[in-house]
Amino acid sequence: MSTLLHIQSSPRKERSASNEVAQAFIDSFQKKHADAKLVTFNIWEEDLPEFNQDALNAKYAGLNGQSLTESQAHAWEILKKYANLLHEADVILLSVPLWNFGIPYKLKQFIDLVSQKDILFTFHPDRGLEGILQNKKAVGIYARGLQLSKESNYPAEQFDFQKSYTEAWLNFIGVSEIYSVIVDKTIFGEEVDKASRKVASEDARLIAGKL
């Protein structure tokens, strides 16, 4: 049985373009893999801990090979619990709105919490950084109000810190099979938004058919 983890990072719930297109992916994926387990993780409904002094001290103690205090160990266990969501998934589906050309801060908070040495990556002075999450697939659904293009004066090469960052992070933690769908022009009126969601949903279904 495979596990599909859906990380939702839009607070717009059913009005969200990224969630709507992700749902098209999920429906097709579940049709193909009837026994797949779906785990939905909405980062806005989760009371994510701060990356506070205990967590930071635990991180540096681990980097320096020192043992953890009780409160540091407790903070570390919480980080591990969130990272386990990723470890237990076969396919990681991320719905990601574009916020100020980057990702929503809550998603960044989640990434900062879970991206730890010996949890999601290792570091060897001779080999450098190595991601731990091998043999997993990821699908990113990227929603944008505008279109990042030369015509809009916001070319993706210069202004995309959403898809490019998310994919760099996935690579860093070891995920190399990555698919993406862009649903853009969501603020150009109902008609344009609807048409864009339709095309992107079809793209998402096609990807689900391949996995």
Ligand X SMILES: Cc1cc2nc3c(=O)[nH]c(=O)nc-3n(C[C@H](O)[C@H](O)[C@H](O)COP(=O)(O)O)c2cc1C
Given the rule CB under 6 A, which of 41-49, 60-68, 107-115, 137-145 is the region that contacts ligand X?
A: 137-145
Q: Does 179 bind ligand X (CB under 6 A)?
A: no
Choose between 132 and 156: whose C-beta lies nearer to ligand X: 156
- Output the smallest distance, CB 9 to ligand X, in A: 8
β-pairing, 91-97 vs 137-143, is: parallel
CA atoms within 13 A on the CB side of 72: 12
For position 100 contacting ligand X by CB under 6 A, the verdict is yes
Stretch that binds ligand X, among 76-84, 99-107, 116-124, 195-203 (CB under 6 A): 99-107
Question: Cα–chain-centroid distance for residue 211?
Answer: 18
Helices (H), the chain: 17-32, 53-63, 70-87, 105-114, 156-159, 163-172, 190-210
From 14-22, 31-39, 62-70, 76-84, span contacting ligand X (CB under 6 A):
14-22
Residue 16 binding ligand X, by CB under 6 A: yes
Cα-based distances in Å from 171 to 4, 8, 62, 90, 148? 18, 19, 23, 15, 23
Binding mask 181-210 for ligand X (x = CB under 6 A): -----xx-----------------------
Is residue 165 part of the contact set for ligand X (CB under 6 A)? no
Of the residues 97, 131, 140, 174, which one makes contact with ligand X according to CB under 6 A: 97
Instruction: Kindly state whether residue 98 participates in binding ligand X, applying the rule CB under 6 A.
Output: yes
Residue 83 neighbours by CB under 8 Å, 6+ apart: 114, 116, 119, 120
Residue 87 contacts ligand X per CB under 6 A: no
What is the DSSP-derived secondary structure letter of residue 116? -
